[in-house]
Amino acid sequence: MNHLFSFLFRSANTLLLFGFLLYAGSLMAQSGSKTNVIIIYCDDLGYGDLGVYGHPTIATPNLDKMAQEGLKFNQFYVGASVCTPSRAALLTGRLPIRSGMVSSEIRVLFPFSKSGLPDTEITMAEALRSQGYKTGMVGKWHLGHLEPFLPLQHGFDEYFGVPYSNDMRPNPNSKGASLHYPPLPLVEGNQTIETGIDQRILTKRYTRRALTFIEENQDAPFFLYFAQSFPHIPLYASEDFEGKSRRGLYGDVVEELDWSVGEVLNKVRELGLEENTLVFFTSDNGPWLVMKEEGGSAGLLREGKGSTWEGGMREPAIAWWPGTIEGGKSTQHIATTMDLYATALDLAGYSLPDDWVIDGHSMLPIMLEDKSIGDEVLYYWGAEIYAVRKGPWKMHYKTITPYVGEAAVAHDPPLLFNLETDPSELYNVADKYPSVIPQLQHVVEEHRNSFSPPPSRLEIVDSDLISGKKAYK
Ligand code: MG
């Protein structure tokens, strides 16, 4: 009896040991195969600017193919309708009101800004780096150009790019602060390596650098944040693309961005990483419509950059992950860049601290199971909520036609649109559906009562630099 007992006991131990080895083995295999993440983020690209989103005269064969092989989002949103807060939302997973990266007065960072993204935030790069990822950033940062705020201080192992918008350079036609701006800098790590750069070759240089990063880090899990400077104006294309598109210079620039996307996807394939890499393409905000032919198109959506109409904050978005995401589909599920943050953390296996609030959910249910992850969107304009969406309904407290010198218009009662039957927000149906308004107001009130916003960091500026009393270093 004793013998039998001791035999059973030893067998059980052996089984346990065997089980443990299997478990450890699978953990190792998993950590060795963490999914790479590449985010390609354009600047001011409109919902209607790609072939696959219906543009008739801009040719985007690489993005069209990416959508064919991946998942196209019809209702993908950014966290703000201008650069700085939109980028803060993507990299922190939080509405930018939570990090202080908003202002209703000074809507983005400028060369005269003295602040940037606070280090209390948990950036996507910091989270992924803590899970063993190599982290690289190429392109436009716009979350603080002074050293304490640059990408290297926010979780990136390397950085190559322009620290703010490509129009923030001396402008002889301007009477404002931009008269005194320094020539556009190119930054490597924390150092400015060039000033007054040739923007015609910027997309090419960014792309080359992105491909090098992917090559050099092919054996480690990696995260590449590739933020293009274009099609933000002033527009520049290389000689391979200039004058080639049917849509003029704007089309040339977008076609070069399309080429760049193709280079990235080809590199991922060439290295055999395509089944282990999620590539996500989108843009920071809608088209800059007052720039006329030099600005893009929001397609059938109303308005563009700087507004809380759909054209300001709904963006083209494509997810590509061959073998995991089924190709050739589009989704109506609502998602945002803050969900993209949560997705990257999910893939890396990173858990946020329990008391840390974010505004996103992993998109894996959308991408893998065609399941919704939420149906609400808050549309902030600076520090103020102008509109809210729940399901098909969108309600506007205020609307603005941006960049024409007009003040915002307040609506009381608020405007109400059904985005499914009226995606262009043309027909106010508030009178017809009075019971919907309180439901939407409830979403806003719950959000407002849940936190107190910190002071704005975009309002911290050097007024001597603005006036020209002091020169830029
Ligand atoms: Mg922008």
Do 268 and 396 share a domain, yes or no? Answer: no
User: What pTM, to 2 d.p., does this model score?
Assistant: 0.93
Of the candidates 142, 154, 333, 396, the residue annotated as catalytic is: 142
Specify if 205 maps to a domain: yes
Expressed as residue numbers, the domain containing 428 is 384-452
Same-domain pairing of 105 and 229: yes
Between CA 425 and CA 239 the distance in angstroms is 40
Give the CATH number of the domain where residue 407 resides. 3.30.1120.10
Q: 227 CA to middle of ligand 1, Å?
A: 10
Residues of the chain predicted below pLDDT 70:
1-32
Report how far ligand 1's centroid is from the alpha carbon of 86 (Å): 8
Distance 12 CA to ligand 1 centre (A): 62
User: What pLDDT score was predicted for residue 27?
Assistant: 43
Q: Count Cβ atoms within 10 A of the Cβ of residue 407 and give its class: 0-12 exposed, 13-18 middle, 19 or more buried.
A: exposed
Q: What angle do CA 295, 301, 305 make, to 5 degrees?
A: 40
Ligand 1 centroid–CA 392 distance in Å is 26
Distance 259 CA to ligand 1 centre (A): 20
Q: Judge if 171 and 294 occupy the same domain.
A: yes
* C-alpha–C-alpha distance, residues 182 and 61, integer Å: 37
**Catalytic option among 42, 83, 154, 396:** 83
Domain boundary among 347, 374, 401: 374
Q: Mark whether 142 is an active-site residue.
A: yes
User: What pLDDT shows up at residue 5?
Assistant: 52
Give the integer Cα–Cα distance in Å for 466 and 222.
Answer: 39
Give the Å distance between the CA of 6 and the centre of ligand 1: 71
Q: Report the separation in Å between the CA atom of 82 and the middle of ligand 1, taken as the mean of its atom positions.
A: 5
Same domain, 314 and 337: yes
Last residue of a domain, one of 345, 374, 403: 374
| Residue 17 covered by a domain | no
Q: How many domains does the chain have?
A: 2
Per-residue pLDDT, 29? 40
Residues 254 and 148 in one domain: yes
Q: Is residue 256 part of a domain?
A: yes
Asked if residue 288 and residue 419 are part of one domain, the reply reads: no
pLDDT value, residue 473: 83
- In a shared domain, residues 167 and 265: yes
Q: Any idea what the CATH number is for the domain that residue 104 is in? A: 3.40.720.10
Report the pLDDT value the prediction gives residue 28, as an integer from 0 to 100: 40
Which string of DSSP letters, residue by residue, matches 417-467?
EETTT-TT-----TTT-TTHHHHHHHHHHHHHTT--PPPPSTT-B-HHHHH
How many angstroms separate the CA atoms of 402 and 349, rounded? 41
Say whether both 365 and 419 belong to one domain: no
The answer to whether residue 286 sits within a structural domain is yes
How far, in Å, is the centroid of ligand 1 from the Cα of 45? 8
Q: Tell me: do 269 and 351 sit in the same domain.
A: yes
